[in-house]
């Protein structure tokens, strides 16, 4: 079935969309009669034109057979209208969460589609503005979790925008649709780009620990190995004894930390510097190093771990949004 919209249908749909998206944002919405719109599709308009021609011919030539066919097709159109509307009525859409991503990837928006009636729903299409459509059915289950994607061409906040839910079921003669503003928002981090090198200013946390690190690192036991750790820290003897992959821990080395400074690499543009800082932040996190971030108006103390990584990436994503 064709998905194109006829020219005389488009202005009316845009007007109804503006009227419907003025509703307040809600994480959950049930599609009822005051939210669902229905108009003929391209095939529907052709079908209506055919009905009109048949009716005129039947009346003009007083041909009962042609009139009966016209009335039968009209009844089919009306029944199709009821079934098309019913294929959306009672659907419940719930916004769950948005998943952050990096520039050049696609942000994921998770939704839950459920039903408030015992009716089955077939060939329901969901699409975010600028994203690819997703067609699904709701027959054997009460609810279904879905994931819609939007491209992320630039860093910063990426709003999901209004969600379009539509159907052409069962005959494709009519299109029923509804707009729901789910209000989800994802963060788009700078695209990590390798390059440059960090300054050799690995600062000790305090003088005592710094002197200990300069004199030689003290062995502090074993820790679980994580991808990205230096190979020289691997506990090969423990691995040979079948104890698994572990890494040697050096508390004095952990006390040293470095700063990721937005003033580095002044020859680069703002976006290029943020991409390089993003690369180094991810690399230091994989290596288990302590690192901090300095940007104009932003300073994050050195730390490591998932929570710190998210704070650093968030600061990079939201730093002077839209600056090039």
> Over the stretch 289-311, which tens digit does the pLDDT of each residue have?
889 999 988 899 998 889 999 99
- Tell me the domain boundaries of the chain: 10-189, 203-318
Element holding 272 (H helix, E strand): helix 270-286
Task: Find all residues with CB under 8 Å of 307, minimum gap 6, and list them.
Answer: none
- The two tokens of residue 19 are 């009227």
Query: For 186-202, how does the pLDDT look when each residue is reduced to its tens digit (9 = 90+)?
Result: 999 999 998 888 765 45
Task: Find all residues with CB under 8 Å of 79, minimum gap 6, and list them.
Answer: none
SS3 of residue 236 by DSSP: helix
SS3 of residue 255 by DSSP: helix
Does residue 158 contact residue 103 with C-beta atoms inside 8 Å? Answer: no
Does residue 172 contact residue 191 with C-beta atoms inside 8 Å? Answer: no
Query: For 228-240, how does the pLDDT look when each residue is reduced to its tens digit (9 = 90+)?
Result: 556 666 776 766 7
Residue 323 has pLDDT above 80, yes or no: no
Start-to-end C-alpha separation, the chain: 44
């Amino acid at each position: 079935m064709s998905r194109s919209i006829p020219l005389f249908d488009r202005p009316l749909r845009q007007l109804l969309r503006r009227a419907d998206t003025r509703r307040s944002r809600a994480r959950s919405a049930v599609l009822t009669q005051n939210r669902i719109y229905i108009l003929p599709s391209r095939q529907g308009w052709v079908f209506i034109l055919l009905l009109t021609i048949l009716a005129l011919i039947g009346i003009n030539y007083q041909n009962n057979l042609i009139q009966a066919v016209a009335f039968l097709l009209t009844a089919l159109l009306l029944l199709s209208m009821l079934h098309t509307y019913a294929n959306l009525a009672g659907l419940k859409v719930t916004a769950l969460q948005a998943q952050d991503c990096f520039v050049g990837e696609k942000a994921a928006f998770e939704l839950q589609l459920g039903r408030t009636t015992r009716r089955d729903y077939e060939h329901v299409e969901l699409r975010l503005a600028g994203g690819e459509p997703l067609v699904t059915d709701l027959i054997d289950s009460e609810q279904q979790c879905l994931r819609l994607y939007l491209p992320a061409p630039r860093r910063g906040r990426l709003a999901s925008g209004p969600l379009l839910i539509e159907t052409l079921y069962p005959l494709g003669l009519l299109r029923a649709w509804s707009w729901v503003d789910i209000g989800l928002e994802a963060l788009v981090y700078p695209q990590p780009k390798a390059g440059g090198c960090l300054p050799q200013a690995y600062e000790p946390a305090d003088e005592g620990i710094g002197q200990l690190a300069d004199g030689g690192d003290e062995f502090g036991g074993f820790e679980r190995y994580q991808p990205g750790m230096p190979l020289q820290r691997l506990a090969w003897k423990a691995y040979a004894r079948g104890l698994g992959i572990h890494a040697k821990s050096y508390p004095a080395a952990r006390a040293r930390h470095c700063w990721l400074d937005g003033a580095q690499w002044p020859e680069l543009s703002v976006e290029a510097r943020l991409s390089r800082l993003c690369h180094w932040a991810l690399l230091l996190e994989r290596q288990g190093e302590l690192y901090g971030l300095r940007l104009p108006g932003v300073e994050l103390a050195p730390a490591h771990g998932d929570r710190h990584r998210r704070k650093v990436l968030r600061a990079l994503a939201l730093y002077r949004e839209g600056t090039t």
